[in-house]
Homo-oligomer: A and B are copies of this chain.
């Protein structure tokens, strides 16, 4: 681990602007760790990357790393994806063999998405946006006389999570004080692990049949794309709530809107099958919905945290320790992910 030459950190952070994710103190911490080859703006040109890779210890960016490029990088010990979706542009197997950590700053989005997911659930459970619009339109009903008919408490009610990765783990503590049983469907997590976390492992069907609110938190994978549809929504009790925050690819979106339009369920949506949302998208006119334009995760205060967690983990790695702040690409699952990068 010891080396007399300074570690070299190569930056290629596009689409993240450098100053967005690295505030001044974090830049200074980074500079203190080694020789930093700064880069900002568009993707670094291939020749820039290829020229510096032979000396690079740490690469910060979502740069393509096929086998040939890894062959150019004998010093490379870690790659930090700051866009935060693992893409199929890296030879993950070869990185693993070489002991190169491939890491993502995705965990930074967990808390903002979890907070919005809870906010959407509460807003849907009480029809807050409709009631707000009613006052502005001068047609409100006092004391909820007309609009509280299907308002529900979350307290004591069973809740369900489809997917229990970063967002799920941030959401669970926020849901605990409501006191209801928490059902989880996540085919990548052993039921014994969920039980140890105080959660109830469940099939996808059970999640919809039991959850007063079903939070859809799964990444799109080769296995789950489009899998949730009409039959699932039909299992929900009337007045049930679906909160879709990550990713739209796992649901049949038309079935979801049909169920909301029919008034069977209430739906909150932050992620969309096509982004930007087409101007004439039917969701814009669908009742019993709360709509957000993929804005749950991307809030200002988390940007500098991306740089901080990257530098925290570089510190770990340069001290000969495993990274602990960013998410590691797992050899078994990374190639099954199908989430599209954010534009």
Contacts and interface: CB of A to CB of B under 8 A. Distances in A.
Interface stretch (A43-51, A226-234, A271-279): A271-279
Contact of A275 (B142, B148, B342): B142
A343 B275 CA distance: 48
B313 A277 contact: no
Instruction: Classify chain A's interface size.
Output: 35 or more
A296 B148 CA distance: 9
Contact of A292 (B120, B132, B188): B132
Contacts of A325: 190, 192-193
A71 interface: no
A343 B333 CA distance: 38
Given A144-B295, A192-B308, A293-B140, A301 B128 contact: no
How many copies of this chain sit in the oligomeric assembly? Answer: 4
Given A313-B190, A320-B332, A177 B174 contact: yes
A111 interface: yes
B111 A118 contact: no
B132 A291 contact: yes
Task: Give the one of A93, A96, A134, A142 with max B CB within 10 A.
Answer: A142
A341 B128 CA distance: 24
Given A148-B295, A153-B301, A188-B321, A119 B128 contact: yes
A151 B119 CA distance: 13
Contact of A299 (B122, B152, B300, B308): B152
Contact of A293 (B143, B302, B330): B143
B135 A126 contact: no
Contact of A128 (B111, B129, B275): B129
A309 interface: yes
Given A122-B116, A295-B147, A128 B290 contact: yes
Given A135-B292, A136-B284, A321-B332, A153 B299 contact: yes
A285 B138 CA distance: 10
A238 interface: no
A135 B97 CA distance: 47
A316 B188 CA distance: 8
A64 interface: no
A131 interface: yes
12 contacts: A119-B128, A123-B128, A126-B295, A132-B291, A135-B291, A141-B295, A142-B275, A142-B294, A177-B177, A179-B198, A189-B324, A192-B325
Interface of A: 93, 96-97, 99, 111-112, 115-116, 118-120, 122-123, 125-126, 128-129, 131-136, 138, 140-144, 147-149, 151-155, 173-174, 176-179, 188-190, 192-193, 198, 275-277, 279, 283-285, 290-296, 298-302, 308-309, 312-313, 315-316, 320-322, 324-325, 330-333, 342-343
Given A143-B294, A152-B299, 4 more contacts: A111-B155, A119-B119, A132-B292, A141-B293
